[in-house]
Amino acid sequence: MTNSDDEKKLIEELKKGVYGWYDFGGDTDVLVLEKGSDEIAKIDADRKYNHIVSLCAHEVCEDPLAFLCDVRTHLNPNGVLLLCGNNRLGIRYFCGDRDKYTGRVLDGIDDYMRAYGRKEDAFTGRMFDRHQLEGMLQTAGFSSLQFFSVFPNIEAATHVFRSDFYPNETLSGRILPLYDYPNTLFLEENRLWQSLIDNRMFHRMANGFLVECFLNDNGKKSDVLSVTSSIERGREDALYTIVHADWKDNPKSVEKRAVYEQGTGRLKELDNNETTLRNKGIHTVEGELKENSYTMPFVRSLPGNRYLEELLLSGDTDGFLKAFDAFTQQICKASETYEGIYVPDLNTFTFDRVKAEKQQKEDTVKTMLLKEAYIDMIPLNSFYEDGEFLFYDQEFKRENYPVKAVIYRAIVSLYSGNPRLASVLPIRSLYERYGIDRDLEKWQRMDGLFLKKLRNEETLKNYKKNARPDGGVIHSNRQRMNFSADDYQRLFIDIFDMTEGRKVVLFGSGKFAEQFLALYGKDVDIAFIADNNKSRIGTDLNGIPIKSPEDLKTLSHGEFKVIICIKNFLSVMEQLEGMGIKEYSIYDAGRAYQRKRHPIYDPLQSDPVAKDKEQAGKKKYHIGYISGVFDLYHVGHLNMFKKAKELCDYLIVGVVSDAGVRKYKKTETFVPFEERIEMVRSCRYVDEAQEIPLMFHNTEQAWNLYHFDVQFSGSDYVDNPYWLREKEFLEKHGATMHFFPYTQSTSSTKLKGLIEQKLI
């Protein structure tokens, strides 16, 4: 995908996360190398530096030792080389990420035996482990080294730890993994970090290294134990959080330093917020603001999230609930509360007082609001000390903000850091306990918008979309490893084989079954749903009866096929095999299965359909797709269908359901869904009309369903960034987006306006 100029600039800034925090002692003449030997060759032979930063430059040199020797010649006797490099034994590569230089899995792990095993193999670059780096650096003349471990990667480092320092916080809630090739992953890296820490393997398997290199033993090594970087937040919010050591190498203080000059305002707000909270009786870690940094003492107590996790996982559910009640009481204690209407300004997502006062007179649905809400009062930003929670990092304050929105953040931040919690106490239990479940979607949306803005998600959308792991892909890849190629094809790919003319039985009535029915329920003849859960037997799912697996015995061999719709399917496979049933497949919720075509027209019909059939293959596109609500069906819709059909052989129209309109457009239709889709079906230019499943509403999901060649849309979206990104996705997959001129004379919006004004 194409990156915007703003995105490119921010991505370039992210590289500073690995070294930008380093104390260069006022030295502004720092040499940064990225391209290996070519850069060194251009430097004057007599030129010396106090600091040289090498960003993986040694990895693209066929002779890295020679490169390091050249770097040494350009350092002053007391100079420092900061060598940044990827670790070939990084945990990301054991999770399935492809090698950075060869583009293949495991090449670095086996030390490039297959990649560069022959003389004719072209060198593209390579990574090194810690032992190899130590050997090369010492041979090159660097006698004193200090290693730091880098996560999630060198290019966008957010966490740096000195190799003798082990964090005591839950990292899975702090670090967001990023990959070069997320589609090949089969393990979730963030679920492994704690085990690596517990087994003292964390540093050896870091994804990258920063090495502080000195030419003699007199060099003054950095006193930094760990660094957290938030450069992605932008110039006003980006901070370095730095843990400093004392003279015995024990943690001494925590410094929050502005990455850019504009960030000093954020530090002042942090200082003011912490002071305000203390004045209200909330325990906070007391700090001191000086110029562009805010310094606090290092706290050795157990982090608040770890305390709550250990309580729940120990089986003390009552103790956990009592402790979480105390936590929520602190949230409420931080501010005065009142009952009122919350209306956000969607541009800044702060309180819109004018709209709230207007709605106050019309709306009786009220919620408890905090006059001053500290929305980062979450377990992750606290310690548990002497029977109380001690807060820190309270950078953000919102006025007139719902209490439940802050409590929701506290719950989600805790559970997302440790998935084992849900097996002891489902997260919904806490939602219900604090009355969050009634407006859950609202609190989810508020939290999502806050994080989206904070993390610059809109600017970095393409970058993160291409680098973040997908749980469905990981699940699919992992399952594939358990089967031979032939078995995997039969079980997971060709799931609709042997369904033609047979009855299909779904096994499982949970989310996977719901998803299957929404996407493919009309493509097969479903007899019933089998489920081992006795409480569900005798009920139905979308009108399909749920029965006991024993009912499968009433069907004859060759009469049916079972499609398993359960995440943990192995026990069901064994159950079916034990019943002598061999004809089954497994629905993979992370895979896109192409749907059958459901043509509306009769192929024997006369013009214009027959004429279209004659022209099949001569048009610009084969399969076209249009999505919309199509409320108050009018000539503009008709013209769009006609123009689309003139350009494609087969036109599919996706119609948004009433529930979809409520969820995504926050309004109601004038015409109900059944009537809207029937009007679309009745159009002679439409070959197939389908309801758009509630959870599959965007272009990417539609393409996964239909594999169309073109999506048609109105020209009013031609410059819309969202639609341009969708167009880029289609072009990446061999399809495209075609924009039609907007019909100025008639539109659903205009018709609704006239109806509301009682003019028609």
**293-319: b (≥16 Cβ within 10 Å) or e:** bbebeeeeebbbbbbbbebbeeeeeee
Tokens linked to 705:
């369903």
> Residue type for 439, please?
D
Helix (H, G, I), strand (E, B) or coil at 409: helix
pLDDT category at 415 given cuts 50, 70, 90 is very high
Query: Could you give the CA distance from residue 756 to residue 749 in angstroms, rounded to a whole number?
Result: 11
> Any long-range contacts for 667-675 (C-beta under 8 Å, 24+ apart)?
669/629, 669/631, 670/631, 670/632, 670/752, 670/755, 671/631, 671/632, 671/633
- Condensed to tens digits (0 to 9), the pLDDT of residues 482-498 reads 899 999 999 999 999 98
**Separation of CA 557 from chain center:** 44
pLDDT category at 750 given cuts 50, 70, 90 is low
Candidates 3.40.605.10, 3.40.50.720, 3.65.10.10, 3.40.50.620; CATH matching 609-756: 3.40.50.620
User: Is residue 349's pLDDT more than 60?
Assistant: no
Q: Is 724 exposed, middle or buried (0-12, 13-18, 19+ CB in 10 A)?
A: middle
User: Is residue 759's pLDDT more than 50?
Assistant: no
pLDDT at residue 558 in the model: 83
User: Is residue 633's pLDDT more than 90?
Assistant: no
User: Is residue 352's pLDDT more than 80?
Assistant: no
- Mean per-residue pLDDT for 252-279? 95
pLDDT category at 648 given cuts 50, 70, 90 is very high
Query: Could you give the CA distance from residue 256 to residue 369 in angstroms, rounded to a whole number?
Result: 30
Q: Which CATH architecture does the domain made up of 5-223 adopt?
A: 3-Layer(aba) Sandwich (3.40)
Report whether 560 contacts 533 (CB < 8 A): no
- Mean per-residue pLDDT for 357-366? 50
User: Is residue 572's pLDDT more than 50?
Assistant: yes
Percentage of the chain with pLDDT > 70?
Answer: 90
pLDDT at residue 35 in the model: 86
Query: Could you give the CA distance from residue 686 to residue 641 in angstroms, rounded to a whole number?
Result: 7
Query: Could you give the CA distance from residue 326 to residue 342 in angstroms, rounded to a whole number?
Result: 25
Candidates 3.90.550.10, 2.60.120.10, 3.40.50.20, 3.40.50.1970; CATH matching 482-586: 3.40.50.20
pLDDT category at 615 given cuts 50, 70, 90 is low
Query: Could you give the CA distance from residue 465 to residue 154 in angstroms, rounded to a whole number?
Result: 18
Q: CB-side exposure of 180: number of CA atoms within 13 Å?
A: 17
What is the sign, positive or negative, of the torsion defined by CA atoms of 95, 97, 101, 106? positive
DSSP code, position 87: B
Which among 114, 115, 108, 60 is positioned nearest to 84, based on CA atoms? 60
Helix (H, G, I), strand (E, B) or coil at 313: helix
DSSP tally for the chain: helices H, then strands E: 26, 30
Strands (E), 413-525: 503-507
**Separation of CA 506 from chain center:** 30
- Condensed to tens digits (0 to 9), the pLDDT of residues 535-560 reads 999 999 989 999 999 999 999 888 99
Which among 248, 246, 233, 223 is positioned nearest to 21, based on CA atoms? 223
Angstrom distances, CA of residue 175 to CA of 157, 394, 472? 10, 19, 20
Angstrom distances, CA of residue 464 to CA of 15, 468, 553? 15, 6, 49
297, β-bridge pairs:
253
757, β-bridge pairs:
none
User: Is residue 364's pLDDT more than 70?
Assistant: no
Domain ranges of the chain: 5-223, 302-455, 482-586, 609-756
> Parallel, antiparallel, or unpaired for β 621-628 and 648-656?
parallel
pLDDT category at 13 given cuts 50, 70, 90 is very high
Query: Could you give the CA distance from residue 444 to residue 525 in angstroms, rounded to a whole number?
Result: 37
User: Is residue 56's pLDDT more than 60?
Assistant: yes
- Condensed to tens digits (0 to 9), the pLDDT of residues 665-674 reads 777 888 889 9
Pick 659 or 188 by higher pLDDT: 188
- Condensed to tens digits (0 to 9), the pLDDT of residues 173-216 reads 889 999 999 999 999 999 999 999 999 999 999 999 999 999 99
Tokens linked to 171:
């990292």
Q: Comparing 80-84, 281-285, 370-374, 706-710, which segment has the lowest mean pLDDT?
A: 706-710
Q: Comparing 360-374, 414-428, 489-503, 593-607, which segment has the lowest mean pLDDT?
A: 593-607
Report whether 142 contacts 81 (CB < 8 A): yes
